[in-house]
Amino acid sequence: MATKLLTSDPRPGLRAHQDSILLSFPELVSHLRDILGVKLVAYIGGVKSARQVSTWADGDGEPGVADRERLRHAFHAASLLRERYDVTTVQSWFKGINPTLNDEAPAQLLREGDPVTGPRAVIAAAKAFAYIG
């Protein structure tokens, strides 16, 4: 009987990073919607209508560059967390105040924070939560 060795990924989160870059925008929005739900994706994407998120997922339109980037960063963080946690936990993490982020909610920081430092902080916090605890 062959022994199966348990190994850990030497670069945890690499898949989440690659997918956030390589997926087409409609695929990314569709996966993000499955993880976070349509209302949270709409909030991060800067729109009020959940219908707009479905339009993006169908490939019938895209938001502006800044909104697309926010959604890609959100997908990166959500995918990191999804490697370890269920959808409900990931959604709660995005909505809840986070002590690592000066008690701001990750979704709010992505939407309203600095476009460079906000995503970096959110992804670092997601890595810490997923891989350190």
The pLDDT, as a whole number, for residue 14 is: 87
The pLDDT, as a whole number, for residue 119 is: 98
The pLDDT, as a whole number, for residue 1 is: 45
- State how many domains the chain has: 1
The pLDDT, as a whole number, for residue 13 is: 81
In a domain, 78, yes or no: yes
DSSP class of residue 85 equals S
Q: Give SS3 for 31.
A: helix
Residues of the chain with pLDDT under 50: 1-8
In a domain, 4, yes or no: no
Q: Give SS3 for 102.
A: coil
In a domain, 6, yes or no: no
In a domain, 1, yes or no: no
The pLDDT, as a whole number, for residue 5 is: 39
In a domain, 7, yes or no: no
Contact 85, 78 (CB under 8 A): no
Q: Within a 13 Å sphere around the CA of 76, how many CA atoms are in the beta-carbon half?
A: 23
**Residues for the chain: how many in total?**
133
The pLDDT, as a whole number, for residue 9 is: 53
In a domain, 99, yes or no: yes
In a domain, 56, yes or no: yes
The pLDDT, as a whole number, for residue 12 is: 65
Distance (Å, rounded) from C-alpha 69 to C-alpha 71?
5
